[in-house]
Amino acid sequence: MGCTNSMELSSRFTDPDVCKIINKISESDLEDIGVRVDRVNPTIKNILVTGGAGFIGSSLVRKLVLLYPEFNVTVVDKLEYCASLNNLLMIKNMPNYSFKEGDIASLDLITSILKEKRIDTIYHLAAQTHVDNSFGNPFEFTQNNVVGTHALLEAAKMHNIKRFIHVSTDEVYGEVPKTVPDCREESTLAPTNPYSATKAAAEHLVQAYHKSFGLPIIITRSCNIYGPYQYPEKICPKFICSLINDGKCFIHGDGSNSRKYLYIGDLVDALDLILNLGKIGEIYNIGSDFEISNLDLAKTLLKQFNFIDEKEQESHLEFVKDRLFNDCRYAVDDSKLKKELGWKPKISWDYGIKKTIAWYKENCDKWWDDISGALVPHPLPLRPRL
């Protein structure tokens, strides 16, 4: 994967204090920041990233702030349990970055930010995303994912927004058996759980504002993302953190459910390309060729932790009751993104998972401690709810 070194980054900024900040960035983080696109969209100046203290949002923000000093990047995040200002410490004192704590469902708040910061571009990532939680409290998902999106769209409609990039999920397509082709952008949306239903509803609102009011939107739908900085409720970091603490990997059902996985650095590269080169009104799938079942994922991680013996592996695996409506698999066809914008993943699963494990070994017991008033459940909930 191409990456920018600290000397190259420092050369883009004239402030010596900024250069000191850049020189402290680790080689691993620099690799994930990657490189600039060849053709930067000249209409982009002031960017708002919603949910920018979360896993994907913060990775995108770090890339934009460090690689594009000509961009002014504002983050708005209400700092719920899965977000952390630790994710943004690296760029905290950068001159082209600012942070606002708040809820995107507040039309007054969003309107004031768009006006104050003269926002011309919006990346919308703020959302409740954990499927298990959506069964227990679906109204919270509607409030955040649907009402929040609607408020943001209404505020964007009233300002001179040049790009509204809505970050969605492959789950809006619903379950995709291996006997049918992977979903293309024009495939029917058929969500099967409260989380994916709210994401599909939000997408319909986004498309309606494009058709009704001419809002310049782009929608992305990505597969499962993994990597450093992800809150340990999703399967990869949950299993990794459990194994670090000599715990178990809890497998829903028989573990045959499979997902496709993409490393976080490859995802933000795609989002960067779409920002600068994507076509208004289009939808872009962001996918991966690497697919693995939940059970094989656990066994792969066990080997990474040197649990090679079969009995030793069995002692770190526990099968639990499957959740209701646990889709067998999701799969998207990303040929459009590859053909039209020239994107392709650069990080292999083997390399990406080693990087991810190394980061959690250093950080999983301390990263989500409360440094900013965020609601952080601690210790981490390693066992799934049944």
Exposure string over 177-197, b if 16+ CB within 10 A, otherwise e: eeeeebbebebebebbbbbbb
Long-range (24+ apart) CB contacts under 8 A made by 366-374 are: 367/84, 367/86, 367/229, 368/81, 368/84, 368/86, 368/231, 368/232, 371/84, 371/85, 371/86, 372/79, 372/84, 372/85, 373/79, 373/101, 374/79, 374/80, 374/81, 374/83, 374/84, 374/85
- DSSP notation for 247-281: --EEEETTS--EEEEEEHHHHHHHHHHHHHHPPTT
Residue 195 is among the residues annotated as catalytic for this protein = yes
For residues 174 and 327, the answer to whether their CB atoms sit within 8 Å is: yes
Active-site entry in 68, 173, 195, 360: 195
Active-site entry in 29, 171, 203, 272: 171
Give how far Cα 375 sits from Cα of 81, 214, 252, Å.
5, 38, 27
Nearest to 73 by CA among 81, 82, 62: 62
Active-site entry in 29, 170, 327, 334: 170
Bridge-partner residues for 317, per DSSP?
249
- DSSP notation for 154-220: HHHHTTT-SEEEEEEEGGGG----TTSPPBPTTSPP---SHHHHHHHHHHHHHHHHHHHH---EEEE
Residue 340 is among the residues annotated as catalytic for this protein = no
Residue 170 is among the residues annotated as catalytic for this protein = yes
Active-site residue numbers? 170-171, 195
